[in-house]
């Protein structure tokens, strides 16, 4: 699956690993200039180094849980490229626990990264986005199917999808808004929760074993929703 993002500027969060890094690499190979967002500056620069022209890749090391981080990302994007054509929200946090045992601070951390950060970053970037632009939110199947020990995480993803639905109406027709809800993908966020099980069998805590996918298999789906030829999809 090939895309042409020549002349486009893409902001990708969670770009230091997993789906975010795979999506950033695919967008770069398709001609996009990149604003890479994540907490690990070293890994962001590694991803930036895979761009065909490293001058077209800017790394912004911030903690999106901080309210002011979204403004910092928007300023970096505007200073480097002037406009933004594509935003892919990949940053996420999963902390599993039964509701009876969940730490309130854990709920706050997941809400900050999974729901509040994409809302605030979208608010900051929207003024820099023009006609034909696109936003993709990476959600999860857990927003649609119940899994034990995932309840607070599922709630944050459900909130993200509700936000995206309303935003699609609000920003149309200038900007397309889509949600990608993959199943279990073998990213550090997931595999760290199942250290004793092989990646091929990590999955639901309901007793089923679900094969996990690789980030590189998910990134084309994210990119396809940003492509001009997908302008009818929202």
Residues labelled as active-site residues: 153
Q: Cα separation of 91 and 62, whole Å?
A: 11
Q: Cα separation of 107 and 91, whole Å?
A: 16
Q: Which residues contact 156 (CB under 8 A, 6 or more apart)?
A: 110, 111, 114, 115
List the Cα angle 45/51/10 in 5-degree steps: 90
Query: How many Cβ atoms from other residues are within 10 Å of residue 106's Cβ?
Result: 16
Q: Cα separation of 43 and 184, whole Å?
A: 23
- In degrees rounded to 5, what are phi and psi of residue 87? -130, 125
């Amino acid at each position: 699956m090939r895309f042409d993002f020549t002349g486009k500027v893409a902001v990708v969060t969670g770009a230091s690993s997993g789906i975010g890094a795979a999506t950033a690499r695919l967008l770069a190979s398709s001609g996009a200039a990149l604003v890479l967002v994540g907490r690990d500056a070293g890994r962001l620069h590694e991803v930036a180094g895979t761009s065909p022209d490293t001058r077209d890749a800017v790394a912004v090391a911030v903690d999106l849980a901080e309210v002011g981080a979204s403004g910092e990302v928007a300023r970096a994007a505007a200073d480097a490229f002037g406009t933004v054509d594509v935003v892919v929200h990949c940053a996420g946090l999963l902390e599993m626990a039964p509701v009876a045992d969940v730490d309130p601070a854990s709920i706050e951390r997941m809400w900050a990264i999974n729901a509040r950060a994409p809302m605030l970053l979208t608010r900051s970037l929207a003024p820099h986005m023009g006609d034909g632009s696109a936003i993709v939110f990476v959600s999860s199947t857990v927003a649609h199917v119940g899994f034990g020990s995932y309840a607070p995480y599922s709630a944050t993803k459900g909130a993200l999808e509700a936000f995206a639905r309303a935003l699609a109406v609000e920003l149309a027709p200038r900007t397309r808004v889509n949600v990608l809800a993959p199943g279990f993908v073998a990213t550090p966020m997931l595999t760290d929760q199942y250290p004793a099980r092989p990646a091929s069998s990590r999955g639901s805590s309901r007793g089923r074993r679900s094969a996990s996918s690789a980030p590189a298999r998910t990134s084309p789906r994210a990119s396809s929703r940003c492509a001009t030829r997908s302008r009818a999809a929202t």
